Amino acid sequence: MLYEFTVSAERDGCKLGDLLRAEGYSRRLVTSLKRTEGGILRNGEFVRTVDICRAGDRITLTRADSTAPEPNPALKVRLLYENERCAVFDKPAGMPVHESMKHRGDSLANAFAARYEGLTFRSVNRLDRETCGCVICAKDAHAAKVMQRSYEKRYVGVCEGVLEGQGSVRAPIARERESVITRCVRADGKPAETLWRVIERRGDFTLLEFTLLTGRTHQIRVHMAHIGHPLAGDSLYGSGASAEYPRLALCCKEIAFTLPDGETVTCHSGFEI
């Protein structure tokens, strides 16, 4: 099931198609639902998008998903928050958010499928496989669309070398021409800006707080390497694993978002860097 809701008194007499658009569902999604048997139901029965809805009608939207990940109940991921519209997980380092060619059955999507049978996996935000921390997963398409416009993240990470105070990195990020994964700073890249603030010095390393003003792939990792202070444990842009930091030292420590009903929620990761 994607979503189920009751037609309000204010929407009494509206065509179903107009009502769905007002609820935030895209034309593309509605078309997909129309092509699915039982995709759009009113009070449990078939309904067309041109049909009139009345206050109190129960609208159910359902879409089959043949590419759904296999449930893996062996995966244990800490749950930070949950209600009927979303769940926030504390993803561990080493676990990808989505399945890929090299990662089948060990992703957050597989853990979600085991916990919420029948629900489509929709991550509102994404983290690199080696980055730990907060990931919002919407339980329906409408919630995903609303929360994608409202969330804010705060990262903490350890960088090589010593920094003081605070600063920003504003440099365009592009894909390396010969790589699918690696990014770089290049003049023809997309605009990107990262704010950083020192939390504490750790010998030859510095613990920082990061705020992203844009959301580019590997943005923190690329920007800090660009200014000569790559993240500790970063094998892609830095010196790689060390005795002090055997893995990438980056965590999405806090995430705040607004639910479809207007409530604001803030979650904090339990992982330490």
Instruction: Quickly list DSSP for 20-70.
Output: HHHTT--HHHHHHHHTSTTSEEETTEE--TTSB--TTPEEEE----TTPPP
**Mean pLDDT over the full length of the chain:** 91
Residues 45-93: tens digit of each pLDDT: 889 999 999 999 989 887 655 457 889 999 999 999 999 999 999 999 9
- Whether residue 219 is predicted with pLDDT greater than 80 in this model: the reply is yes
**Do the beta carbons of residue 269 and residue 134 sit within 8 Å?**
yes
| Cα 81 from Cα 92, distance rounded (Å) | 16
Catalytic annotation on 90? no
Query: Which among 139, 146, 142 has a CA at the least distance from the CA of 122?
Result: 139
User: What is the mean predicted confidence (pLDDT) over 34-46?
Assistant: 83
- Whether residue 26 is predicted with pLDDT greater than 80 in this model: the reply is no
Residues 109-129: tens digit of each pLDDT: 999 999 998 898 999 999 999
Q: What percent of the chain has pLDDT over 90?
A: 70
- Whether residue 2 is predicted with pLDDT greater than 70 in this model: the reply is no
pLDDT of residue 66: 45
Query: Which among 162, 183, 181 has a CA at the least distance from the CA of 171?
Result: 183
Considering 128, 140, 204, 234, which one is annotated as catalytic?
Answer: 128
Query: Token pair for residue 52?
Result: 């009139």
If pLDDT is split at 50, 70 and 90, which confidence band does 30 have? Answer: confident
Residues 180-199: tens digit of each pLDDT: 789 999 999 999 999 999 99
Instruction: Give the DSSP H/E element, type plus range, for residue 226.
Output: helix 219-226
Q: What percent of the chain has pLDDT over 70?
A: 96
User: What is the mean predicted confidence (pLDDT) over 213-219?
Assistant: 94
User: What is the mean predicted confidence (pLDDT) over 137-153?
Assistant: 91
